[in-house]
Structure 1
Amino acid sequence: MARSARRAMVVASPFLLAWAGVLGIFAALADRLPDRLATHFGSSGHADGFTGPGAFLSVVTALFLVPGAVVGWLAFRSRTALGARRALVAVGYGTPAQLGCVFGLLLLANADAGAAGSEPGELPLWQLAVSFAVGAAVGWVGWLLAGLDPASPSGDTDPGRGPRLPLAEGELASWTRTVGSPVLIGVGGATAVLGGALALAAGPPAGLPPAAIGAVTALLSGCRVTVDRRGLTVTARFVARPRLRVPLERIERATSREFRAMELGGWGYRSAAGRSGLVLRSGEALCLRLAATGKEFVVTVDDAATAAALLNTLAERGRTAAPEG
């Protein structure tokens, strides 16, 4: 429990610190800020969009605290060491640092704007470059901190064992199921609604990106899993692409087991040291041991035992039929 709490604090702290930093700058400059803040700047650096201070603080709070709470909760529930997700932790540090720097520079650009007839300040592009440099530096700190929580080596199992589905010589068979993720549907819908609210409060440029991301997340919240003579194929439920395929020759062994989403750190396509997979929910999962690399690939889906048995039979048939070199 204590280790989980430490992980949650490690991944959530940059969001909290960035939020507190922006609020601190706002409080320090409160007497010098105009009634309407310049929040959007054109390529020339001049202001062309404005927002009230209350709306500005609401957006800042939502952008930092909501993602911070989500990643903190996921880290608390996860059994995966942060060392297996160093790249994600680095991004999780760099993103709020870069956004916090942008918001801080924006507030400084608004200081004394409108006083004595002065024009709103400018936000030149070189300052945005500075914010990305700050994000990269803080992301490196996250990379180093994640390394203090090393990934545990994945255990190995006997590749010669695994269920089989009896098939007569020359007999063909296929298996298919659909699976959906209530979590991704909820997250996608909430993100789309938040994007719509941002579009109304701060303009389409601020709201359309999260609205689009939310819509795509909801659209890709379900998939069809198929096993046949080509191997394992996973496609989105409503669109033909993206598609993921693991051919039979890459499959060393297939099994099924109960799988918790937090074993891979959450929902969606996930990757960790020695393991990757498409996790749409907790529950029964198809687990593949990949040839050559020995890594595990996981897909959560109902009736995974049948899929594993058919894959083992088809893969064994393919190895038997392959000419010896």
Structure 2
Amino acid sequence: MTTAPPPGTPRARSGTEVWRPRARRAMAWSSLVGLLFAVGAAAVVWAWRDELPAQVASHWSGSGEPDGFMAPTTIALVGVATAVGLCVLFAAIGITQGAAASTRRIAAAGCVWSGAFMAAIVVGTLAPQRGLADASQVELAGDTLLAGILLPLVPAGIAAALVPGDPAMPADEPVPDDAPRAPLRDGERAVWLRRATGGPGLAVGAVAVALTTLAAVLTAEWTMLVVPAVLAALFVTMFAFTVRVDAAGLTVRSAARWPGTHVPAGEVVRASVTQVRPFREYGGWGWRTARDGRVGVVLRAGEALLVERSGGRSFAVTVDDAAGAAALLNAMADRARHR
């Protein structure tokens, strides 16, 4: 039989009650910023309406000649509608799966990048057509698309940085008795350290870098070589990680020092070994968020360390000797509760 708490006793908030309001706020302001970029571009197009051809070039063939045309207002509306659709997608991810701050940051950055990307593409493609009577001779410079992809990364990065991190949420229950533990003597120190690298995602990344490099060379669009360079840097950050377990908890950090995460020992509810299926659970490889909100560093299928933490959050990383990491992390979580 349980006894109800005395009147006036504060009720412990569930994990969802802690992170869901944070996710809603982050998605609200980041979506607004993204839409302001897109609407701002539409306003620029409206201001240019008397200087643009009745039908502007909206699509270019592989030879660089335009092969698609539409009214300036239509291309502006398409840009706004696309930005709205992408913002809705990222906001839905943030609100439904944003238990971890990293997911909320990625979703907020996605909202802002989407609006800024569409604004850059719309303005960048129409600016060279101002003052023309016929848009059929306009060539799209390769750096227009490049700028449209890269420049929005600046406001997107700022948006991600503005999203607050997770609040401290020490676990209030002991580590389950059946959780594996490393046998440590009182005062004994221990560190578990492994590298998680490679996997199929790295091969896919190498192919993407090779293909984009080849495309830039064949079209002689040398500025487009920035794309494979950026992809290479991205894959370095996503497919080489250091995984460490010590008295402080679990630390996972990219070889490029970012991205990374830290799970304090005091927030570990239970550490265990799980089997990961990258596409079915996470939709691919790298730093991922699963449908249930679990964050993971997924480089391959198979064995992974799963860390259930306070607030209904969890984190997984595919790494060798996940059992050893789980046992030591549970032991450190026990110690953290008795400090």
TM-score category of the 2 structures, normalised to the smaller one: 0.5 to 0.7
1:157-213 per-residue CA deviation (whole Å, 9 max, x = no partner) reads x962411111111222111122223333223222322332343325233331x2122
Tell me, yes or no, if the aligned pair for 1:187 and 1:214 is still in contact at 8 Å.
no
- CA–CA separation in structure 1 for the residues paired with 2:316 and 2:284: 13
Report the CA distance between 1:240 and its aligned residue.
Answer: 4.4
Tell me, yes or no, if the aligned pair for 2:241 and 2:252 is still in contact at 8 Å.
yes
Pair 1:229–1:38, CA change in 2 (3 A): same
What SS class does the counterpart of residue 206 from structure 1 fall into? helix
- CA–CA separation in structure 2 for the residues paired with 1:194 and 1:107: 29
Show the counterpart of 1:285: 304
Among all aligned residue pairs of Structure 1 and Structure 2, give the percentage whose two residues are the same amino acid.
Answer: 35
Report the CA distance between 1:271 and its aligned residue.
Answer: 2.2
- CA–CA separation in structure 1 for the residues paired with 2:206 and 2:269: 38
Report the CA distance between 1:304 and its aligned residue.
Answer: 0.6
- CA–CA separation in structure 2 for the residues paired with 1:172 and 1:53: 64
Letter in 2 for 1:233: T
Does structure 1 residue 193 correspond to structure 2 residue 210? yes
Show the counterpart of 1:267: 285
Letter in 2 for 1:248: A
Tell me, yes or no, if the aligned pair for 2:58 and 2:125 is still in contact at 8 Å.
no
**2:267 maps to which of 242, 250, 265:** 250
- CA–CA separation in structure 1 for the residues paired with 2:296 and 2:245: 16
Tell me, yes or no, if the aligned pair for 1:113 and 1:121 is still in contact at 8 Å.
no
- CA–CA separation in structure 1 for the residues paired with 2:136 and 2:306: 63
Give the number of aligned pairs: 218
1:121-140 equivalence runs, <5 A? none
Pair 1:122–1:173, CA change in 2 (3 A): closer
Report the CA distance between 1:258 and its aligned residue.
Answer: 0.8
1:139-218 equivalence runs, <5 A? 160=176, 161-200=178-217, 201=219, 203-208=221-226, 210-218=227-235
Show the counterpart of 1:145: none
Report the CA distance between 1:313 and its aligned residue.
Answer: 0.6
Does structure 1 residue 54 correspond to structure 2 residue 73? no
TM-score, normalised on structure 1?
Answer: 0.53
- CA–CA separation in structure 2 for the residues paired with 1:167 and 1:284: 24
Tell me, yes or no, if the aligned pair for 2:96 and 2:293 is still in contact at 8 Å.
no
Tell me, yes or no, if the aligned pair for 2:175 and 2:330 is still in contact at 8 Å.
no
Tell me, yes or no, if the aligned pair for 1:256 and 1:287 is still in contact at 8 Å.
yes
Please, what is the CA RMSD of the aligned residues? 4.6
- CA–CA separation in structure 1 for the residues paired with 2:257 and 2:201: 19
Pair 1:111–1:227, CA change in 2 (3 A): farther
**1:294 maps to which of 312, 334, 338:** 312
Tell me, yes or no, if the aligned pair for 2:175 and 2:333 is still in contact at 8 Å.
no
**1:304 maps to which of 297, 319, 322:** 322
- CA–CA separation in structure 1 for the residues paired with 2:283 and 2:295: 11
1:41-92 per-residue CA deviation (whole Å, 9 max, x = no partner) reads xxxxxxxxxxx943449xx9xxxxxxxxxxxxxxxxxxx9x96599599799
- CA–CA separation in structure 1 for the residues paired with 2:186 and 2:233: 44
Tell me, yes or no, if the aligned pair for 1:191 and 1:213 is still in contact at 8 Å.
no
- CA–CA separation in structure 2 for the residues paired with 1:224 and 1:264: 20
Pair 1:252–1:94, CA change in 2 (3 A): same
- CA–CA separation in structure 2 for the residues paired with 1:122 and 1:190: 26
Tell me, yes or no, if the aligned pair for 1:258 and 1:285 is still in contact at 8 Å.
yes
Tell me, yes or no, if the aligned pair for 1:188 and 1:213 is still in contact at 8 Å.
no
User: Which structure 2 residue ranges, 5 or more long, are not aligned?
Assistant: 1-54, 69-92, 99-103, 150-173
Deviates more, 1:198-207 or 1:224-233: 198-207
- CA–CA separation in structure 1 for the residues paired with 2:230 and 2:114: 21
Show the counterpart of 2:35: none
- CA–CA separation in structure 2 for the residues paired with 1:55 and 1:304: 52
What SS class does the counterpart of residue 54 from structure 1 fall into? coil
Tell me, yes or no, if the aligned pair for 2:289 and 2:296 is still in contact at 8 Å.
yes
Pair 1:192–1:253, CA change in 2 (3 A): same
Deviates more, 1:190-199 or 1:297-306: 190-199
